[in-house]
Amino acid sequence: MNKYEMIEIVGEGSYGMVMKCKHRETGQFVAIKRFLESEESDYEVRKMAFREIRMLKKLRHDNLVNMIEVFRRKKRFYLVFEYLDHTLLNELENAEGGLGLEMSKRYIYQVLRGLDFCHNNNIMHRDIKPENILISPNGVVKLCDFGFARFVNSPNESCTDYVATRWYRAPELLVGDPRYGRPIDIWAVGCLYAEMVVGNPLFPGDSDVDQLYRITKILGGLCMKHQTLMDRSRPGQILRHASADELIGPPQSGLFSIRKLFPKWDIIAIDFLAQCLRMDPDLRSKSSMLLEHPFFIQDRFVDKFLILLRKSIDIESSMNPLSSKILSEKGPSVTTNLLESSKSVCQHFPSWHMHTIIAEDLNDKTKSETTNTMELCETSSSSHNNPSRKVCKMNSISVIPNTTYIRKGKQKGIVMYDY
């Protein structure tokens, strides 16, 4: 710790704390996560620390918070990260009525890029939510907090069922399916995108049962495997909220419900969300497929946006010498590689998604929003607060496991209408 000056503590949890520090030589601010150890939790904390360190050493990407170094002092592990003090949660608090379609697209595209890198390295994040999405002053998005992340070793491996903040939990987690995988992150991406656009959580359940009820009311019934698990685990609880007819039905019905929920959305944006929110995890799209969805390909969004993103990343790299050194050691930038390949990707629309898009809607739909500029960094935060979103004070970088946040408001979630 001698080369860092401690500024303040920005977060604390049952397994450790996060400190804002300053690198004495360069003057760069960093976030240092210190694991706490005691006689009672020594083994568990060490196990968690080793797992997180192992993963973070593999995860070097422009859209992931990067670990600068790790060291040990007095039997405690210290993880040093690049420091960002602004999150997507902050954006949502300050933006009345959501971030808008264009800004939401830029943010969710970067989230998917970072997540795709994780999934390609056989890592699922398991806790995607607004306060785990860091946003730089130049609009670069970085996924953070890998305290709950874990390696995916085999499709049939059992995993811990208590992961992810409830509002972003996939149905397979809510019914207690131990054999889940990467699709739980895709579900969270869908919830995150809808929340970014409209400004309120999509499924703000008060309990696991209420969460599942809200999901099935909009998207239709559980798949057969999950319905069987639900019948075995807690049939009495679910009957107090819904009948059996409400909880079982065709998974494909979700597309039409989403169209009713967001009638002003472009059909391609609706299809993108529907691909994320498939009730059956086996039918949910992979991150790589979503990155090639027409939602991003149309109007040459990828071509234009990646050029601007590269410029913003270069600016930030020049201001953060410690992070730049780490990223240079991993070889060519991921963004550079994508820029080279984006031209071939954008030459055609993939056909995998078209079974959910209704042709007449595409023919009749006029473009609802025209982008005059493709500036990456624009003011997305409103000068006035959103009255429907009141939160407790949150840490600027929530990299401590078992910490959460509370949101209270007069109106929770999206208003659901019966059709």
So which residues are the catalytic ones?
127
Location of structure tokens 């624009």: 378
Residues 6+ apart with CB under 8 A from 40: none
Contact 60, 324 (CB under 8 A): no
Ligand-binding site membership of 410 (annotated): no
Measured between alpha carbons, how far is 68 from 149 in angstroms, rounded to an integer? 19
Indicate the DSSP class of residue 332. Answer: S
CA distances from 285 to 133, 189, 353 (A): 21, 11, 9
Pairing of strands 123-124, 141-143: unpaired
Instruction: Locate all alpha helices (DSSP H) within 292-333, ordered by sequence.
Output: 294-297, 301-319, 321-329
Cα(first)–Cα(last) distance of the chain, in Å?
Answer: 61
Q: Are 140 and 62 in contact (CB under 8 A)?
A: yes
Alpha-helical runs (H) found in 71-123: 88-94, 101-120
Asked if 26 and 5 touch (Cβ cutoff 8 Å), the reply is no
Q: How many angstroms separate the CA atoms of 290 and 396, rounded?
A: 29
Helix extents (H) in 320-392: 321-329, 334-345, 359-364
Cite the DSSP H helix spans in 155-243. 171-174, 183-198, 208-219, 224-233, 235-239
In angstroms, the Cα distances linking 180 to 66, 107, 155, 290, 335 are 27, 26, 8, 19, 30
Q: Quote the strand ranges of 117-195, DSSP E.
A: 123-124, 133-135, 141-143, 150-151
Q: Which residues are annotated as a binding site?
A: 33
Q: Which residues are annotated as a binding site for ATP?
A: 33
